[in-house]
Amino acid sequence: MIEGSKILLVDDNVDIIDALSDFLTLNGCNVLVAPTGREAMEILDKNEVEVVILDVRLPDTNGVSLLDSIKISNPTVAVVMVTGYYNPNYVVEAMKKGASDFLIKPFEFDKLMLVLIRALRERSLLIEKESIYQTLEDKKKIELLNRELQKKIKELTTMYQISNQFNSLTIFNDVYEKMLNIIYDALEVKSCGYYIFDNKNKELILYKEKTNNNGSMLESRVPVSGAFFENLRSQKKYFSNKNELYLPINIKGECIGFIMVDSKRNGFKKDDHMLDSDIFFLKLIAEKASTQIENRMLYESLFENVFQTLTSLIAAIQKRDSYTENHCHRVTDMSLILADKMDLPDYERDVIRFVGPVHDLGKIGIPDSILLKPGGLSDEEYFMMKSHSAYGEEILSRFDILSKEAKIIRSHHERYDGRGYPDALSKDEIPVCSRVIAVCDTFDAMTTNRPYRSALGKEHALNEIERCRGSQLDPDIADYFVEIARNDVYEKV
């Protein structure tokens, strides 16, 4: 363990120094403290320190630069870098300069304990290496130690790459696809897949896979036996069969699926240490993936609650103005068909699917005397009516997860020529989803009976769409719409 170790803390944050000092002292360590790089070097000159816990940002120097000085003066000192501002470049540079590990604030004391144990073990290797170098008695041992150190650097680099790739995921990325891509690249396997467990039929069902160009497709269904579950309950926590290895992904103690990996792309490796390393990385990936999947579940639950709230608001509008309900549904249906015709990305289609039914949400803030007025509106009343798109954005933007959807609602009355409202945006400044909804919204408004005018005929309305292409409406989207409408794709038309 770490009892009796002499550890130097280099950080200018008094609270952090106090907390770490108390923890390390309770665990039997001799603790030295330096708030600056200059004082740290003075302490190192006068004391035999085993481990330095070094902050990246110091008042008088950069921690990575100080690491270089420490390693030059005493290469056997193990250095653990810490920072509250994660930067992959710092990690790579620090590892190249000989850092034993890298911790991101805030970190748990249990994790610090493991890092210190690893650092002290590495220091023993470094001391042994230095001793061998000095005596020049065993060149083979030097080479072995070099390989061990290089392997450790490679392992740590791979760990940071895996963590960084998962940390870069957004809520719109496919976590399962990303997970398999990481496994495929990091472990260099021929194929890998994600399986869902069918408890009723006692089999695994393939959900996603990743194979090389020459690899065969994975089995879509894999029967499982009692031995499969015995291995999962054992200390190994995984099941291996021939060249395949299955590892569970758990959330709050419940298994939600299995990662499967095949043999190496560059042939079989008999080195047990290498096999253990692969399993370690696979477990790390499974842990990171389970966190991402759990976050998705929480996000979807939150999203559903938000949508139910908005549905209640829309119901209130519908009781005031039945036109809004049917209009929004028609606009949504037409917009989705138009999005398919334009081959918009799945994400944009999902945005339209959500925004379409609520794009007139802001009408809840328009007085009945204006919203339901049977005749034409005065200039003042029309100005008030135009504010409904901004009202809609204001309501939706109260939910942080709907920031993009809120902008779509705000911009669905902008004009392609920049003469729309509320922001006078033009061309590609207007979100594409807003431009799609604008065309469908315009057509439906023209072909629907209103208290103050009768509906236009289909052909008359399509002629108006063509007339307004390039001015009010995006010309390309308008052309797509007219083509669809004249081919009778829309049920309404």
pLDDT digits 0-9 by tens, 412-435: 999 999 999 999 999 999 999 999
Contact indicator for 371, 321 with CB cutoff of 8 Å: yes
DSSP 8-state code for residue 469: B
Residues of the chain with pLDDT under 50: 268-274, 492-493
Task: Kindly list the distances between the CA atom of residue 366 and the CA atoms of 39, 153, 314, 360, 439, in Å, as whole numbers in the listed order.
Answer: 67, 64, 13, 11, 23
Q: What is the pLDDT of residue 209?
A: 87
CA angle, 422 then 425 then 426, to 5°:
145
The rounded distance, in Å, linking the Cα atoms of 73 and 68 is: 9
Tokens of 131: 């001793």
Nearest one of 280, 93, 150 to 79, comparing CA atoms = 93
Looking at residue 334, what is its pLDDT? 93
DSSP, collapsed to helix, strand or coil, labels residue 54 as strand
Strand partners, 197: 204
3-state secondary structure of 305: helix
Tokens of 293: 């999947």
Predicted model pTM: 0.48
Q: What is the dihedral sign for C-alpha 235, 241, 243, 249?
A: negative
Secondary structure (DSSP) of 196-250:
EEETTTTEEEEEEEEE-TTPPPPPSEEE--HHHHHHHHSSS-SEEETTEEEEEEE
364-386 pLDDT tens trace: 787 877 777 777 787 788 888 88
